[in-house]
Structure 1
Amino acid sequence: MSTSRRQVIGGFGAALIAGQGFASSAAPGKASASAKQAWPAGFVWGVATAAHQIEGNNVNSDYWVLEHARGSKFKDQSGDACDSWNRWREDVDLVHGMGLTAYRFSVEWARIEPERGHFSEAALGHYRRMCLRCREVGIMPIVTFHHFTSPRWVAVMGGFENPAVASLFARYCERTARALGDLIGAACTMNEPNAQVTSYVMRGYQPYPGEANVAAEAARSLGAERFAAYFLGDALKARDGCLKAHVLATQAIKSVVPGLKVGLTLALQDLLPGPGGAELHRRVFDEARGPFYEAAGADDFVGVQPYMRLRTGPDGYLPAPAGVPLNRYGADASPDVLGAVVREAHRHCKAPILVSEHGIDTIDDRQRSVHLEASVAVLAQCVAEGLPVLGYLHWSLLDNFEWSSGYEPRFGLVAVDRKSFVRTPKPSAKAFRDIVAGAGAKRGRNRM
């Protein structure tokens, strides 16, 4: 690819974001004030996405089956999603146009190994081209090997509840690392394997209403006797299976790329005990945080993914108090949530910290810009205190398919037309670009 071609395509995202109508919605001077903080050399600035949420037509995955099962609680089916399987170049160009140094995306096990033991060279080649394009424009790929979805053949084995799946996952990671490892800047084995456990404990160790019926319908549609997936099945068995899978996958990836930093990412809201909620708070920590902090302590980094502050009562979450910023669904989305979670992770897990996801669900993009700038200022204070923070990745690049909530949530810096798939950067994309530029971000790092 010629230099002129790189310059033309590399400027595509920047032109979109800098174009007329995309002036920053933040108050004048705020971005530069937060960005003037001293950031470590090589601090990573990026965005995150997940394959099933943006690629579309992930027909061999367990979640595709769940979305179509009779009695499913999904508000929408993923369908074409954002058509990123075909439009991934546009996505990379948008990341480049924001001046970011990293792009965290996931590779899809169901595409790479659609049937047990059959690995698709075409799918591996697709993801390799994504990594190559990122490298061409100075963006470091941070690759997640499992972001909630598994092949349907894994689901009929019982998912990660089945002890045999851990070694099969490690085999997939080893094969994928051989195809992509020389291009990857860091690897996340699994995304939020603790989230299912948190939800399970908060429900009093009870399944979701109707869960057994949906699982039976999913199994029936595949002519199988069982079906288990993330958020569907025995959460404690799945937790133990995921912890084992993470260890084996880390070993497998490092056997191929010894110097690569490998970690896992955790769903970590700022969870506080409210009136009468101390016991529930303790159970959530013991079941859904402690074991994962312990596992991550041996890793090269731990990814933290905070979005809100939640308070436990005797039987569940309490309403948000008056006077705090709220996200679209009424949860406390105070910017200092980010600092609270980073500090918690550092107390309980001495691995360096990557903010691997963070954002806000809101249809008010000005709120997103203000929330982003205030949160980055909070993170700057953590860095000033000497906490080992490696980088910040915003969720998400695109408005996308948000699992059972469908397409209603709005986390993206870029809007996506549901019919044409045209990407339109929001003012918050420029606000983020201004923050990153003010922070003196440097592109072209080989590894995190």
Structure 2
Amino acid sequence: MSRGSRAVGGRSIITRITAVLAAVALVAVLPQVPRAGAEASGAGPGAPAAGGFHWGVATSGFQVEGSNPDSNWKRYVDATSPGGEVDPVGDAVDFWNRYPEDIARAAAMGVNTFRMSVEWARIEPAPGVYDDEALAHYDRIIDSIRDHGMIPMITMVHFTYPGWLADRGGMLSGDAVEAFGRFSELITQRWAGDGTMWVTLNEPLVFFKHEMTIGRVGFQDFSSFLDQIEAAHRLGYAAAHRADPDAMVTMNEAYLPLATDFTDTLIGDRVADVVDYVGIDYYYGVALNNLTTINAAWDDFAAVRPQPEVIYEAIKHYAQSYPGKPIYIVENGFPTDNGARADGVDRGDFLRDTAFWLQRAVADGYPVIGYNQWSLVDNYEWGSYSPRFGLYQVDVLTDPALERTPTSGVDAYREIIAGGGVGPDYRPVLPGGWCSLSVIPDSCLNPVLVDGPRATLGG
């Protein structure tokens, strides 16, 4: 996940808004692409042939693989963890070696799409030098996903890049875009086809926030950074389509309920002509009766009250902003603090409520083609192992065996996938927000009704 940590706060709504708003004066000249306002409808292209809906799980390489190579983030963790500022990443959950069992766990839930990222630093440890064994190992991981009947969704860059590129200035380097283009050409030629989906660069605005945290950029670099990200995305998009003309490619973005229209102008509008589907990461809502998102400002993510119903608002927003584009929830998850929540909210209930609102959105004509649960297993949350998002719990710091323990989410997700959602008599159990601040005044005057129509999603 693109979540924050004690040191990073990458998932924090408040810290991300602070970073963005502080840069407004610097990005006022960014080009904007006009958007139509009509709602999109219909199922849209891109759904899997079997079942018609992508039910997925998500991971990222740096957060789960272990034995991490030299990269921007590995350098930061190595420099700061001895002082206790962040947890050492160690072997994470050792997905690099345990991928067969984790992929089998996903398949056993009925998952048909498996999102992962490949580590650029592992594949290209020196400029123009490619590690054949690393590539062959990723071959085995991707083959295992396919052998279990799942579609790979491959993220090219999930906040990390090689140490040699960091030495040159990271994503601000004069040759960063060209280097990414070569990398994207290599991996798309190798793994495209058979339905493989692509995410070029994960959450560009949060990527910038991460780069600020690890000391690689400053506010003054915001506009240049987004220029580089856009140019890199365009190369990755073109590479994927050269390898497979039918490829489905996106650059996912986090839904920020207090600033989504503004963040659309920063990046979404700039790449609207080169995405095949809109990738949304949705985690938190804000409402007049739920201001708990403030807790994310000091990285107490488990103290944020979840609002599954706001996933409907996120879908509606992007359907209206980018009509005709299929929508995929690339990330959605639910945090605990080392497995516990003071409010007692259950992971299974969260998943069932979320499925309910996905079904409402599709029934109302919004073109949702897929949903990924973040995450399959607990992982390294960009500086800390305390925030837990995994369907399977892994006590990295206290259990050398790294045992995967199923949470209530495993059975719930299996049942949801098998049934194409929740049944006709199901009603949400988590309290909804009143007067969502993301769509005032409409959410106050015309809230989405629980008793509206619902669709079956695959199954």
Q: Shorter-chain TM-score: what band? A: 0.7 to 0.9
Q: Which residue of 1 aligns with 2:326?
A: 352
Aligned counterparts, 1:355-366, within 5 A: 355-362=329-336, 363-364=340-341
Q: Which residue of 2 aligns with 1:6?
A: none
Which of 30, 42, 66 is the aligned partner of 1:56? 66
- Paired amino acid for 1:143: I
2:424 matches 1:426: no
The whole-number CA distance in structure 2 between the counterparts of 1:372 and 1:242 is: 33
Aligned counterparts, 1:271-350, within 5 A: 271=258, 281=259, 285-286=261-262, 288-298=263-273, 299-310=275-286, 320=293, 328-350=301-323
The whole-number CA distance in structure 2 between the counterparts of 1:341 and 1:441 is: 18
CA-CA distance at 1:80 after TM superposition? 0.4
Q: CA RMSD in A?
A: 3.0
Verify the 8 A CA contact 1:131 1:183 in the aligned structure 2: no
Q: Which residue of 2 aligns with 1:400?
A: 379
2:133 matches 1:96: no
CA-CA distance at 1:366 after TM superposition? 5.5
Aligned counterparts, 1:32-431, within 5 A: 41-70=51-80, 74-183=85-194, 185-196=196-207, 215=215, 228=216, 234-271=221-258, 281=259, 285-286=261-262, 288-298=263-273, 299-310=275-286, 320=293, 328-350=301-323, 351-362=325-336, 363-364=340-341, 367-404=346-383, 406-418=384-396, 419-431=400-412
1:19-40 deviations in Å (ceiling 9; x for gaps) = xxxxxxxxxxxxxxxxxxx998
The whole-number CA distance in structure 1 between the counterparts of 2:184 and 2:307 is: 37
Verify the 8 A CA contact 2:230 2:271 in the aligned structure 1: no
State TM-score, norm by structure 2.
0.72
The whole-number CA distance in structure 2 between the counterparts of 1:386 and 1:318 is: 30
Verify the 8 A CA contact 2:127 2:164 in the aligned structure 1: yes
1:180-211 deviations in Å (ceiling 9; x for gaps) = 113552111111112245x59xxxxxx96xx6
Verify the 8 A CA contact 1:415 1:423 in the aligned structure 2: yes
Verify the 8 A CA contact 1:194 1:289 in the aligned structure 2: no
Aligned residues between the structures: 362
Percent pairwise identity? 32
Q: What SS does the corresponding residue of 2:372 show, helix, strand or coil?
A: strand
The whole-number CA distance in structure 2 between the counterparts of 1:348 and 1:441 is: 23
The whole-number CA distance in structure 1 between the counterparts of 2:276 and 2:139 is: 23
1:237-294 deviations in Å (ceiling 9; x for gaps) = 22221111101111112112222111111111322xxxxxxxxx4xx743x3323221
Verify the 8 A CA contact 1:100 1:441 in the aligned structure 2: no
Q: What SS does the corresponding residue of 2:160 show, helix, strand or coil?
A: coil
Which blocks of at least 5 consecutive residues in structure 1 are unaligned? 1-37, 201-206, 216-227, 272-280, 444-448
State TM-score, norm by structure 1.
0.74
- Paired amino acid for 2:206: A
Q: Which residue of 2 aligns with 1:277?
A: none
Q: What SS does the corresponding residue of 1:297 show, helix, strand or coil?
A: helix
Verify the 8 A CA contact 1:103 1:141 in the aligned structure 2: yes
Verify the 8 A CA contact 1:293 1:348 in the aligned structure 2: no
- Paired amino acid for 1:246: H
Q: What SS does the corresponding residue of 1:308 show, helix, strand or coil?
A: coil
- Paired amino acid for 2:359: A
